[in-house]
Amino acid sequence: EDQVTQSPEALRLQEGESSSLNCSYTVSGLRGLFWYRQDPGKGPEFLFTLYSAGEEKEKERLKATLTKKESFLHITAPKPEDSATYLCAVQAWETSGSRLTFGEGTQLTVNP
Partner 1 sequence: DAGVTQSPTHLIKTRGQHVTLRCSPISGHKSVSWYQQVLGQGPQFIFQYYEKEERGRGNFPDRFSARQFPNYSSELNVNALLLGDSALYLCASSQGPRGTNEKLFFGSGTQLSVL
Residues binding partner 1 (CB under 8 A) = 4, 34, 36, 41-46, 49, 87, 89, 95-105
Please identify, using beta-carbon distances, which residue of 58 and 104 lies nearer to partner 1: 104
Q: In whole angstroms, what is the distance from residue 23 CA to residue 104 CA? A: 10
Q: Are 21 and 72 in contact (CB under 8 A)?
A: yes
Residue 37 three-state SS? strand
The widest CA-to-CA distance across the chain, in whole angstroms, is 45
Please identify, using beta-carbon distances, which residue of 46 and 60 lies nearer to partner 1: 46
Q: Are 83 and 90 in contact (CB under 8 A)?
A: no
| Least gap, CB of 97 to partner 1 (angstroms) | 3
| Least gap, CB of 72 to partner 1 (angstroms) | 18
| Least gap, CB of 88 to partner 1 (angstroms) | 8
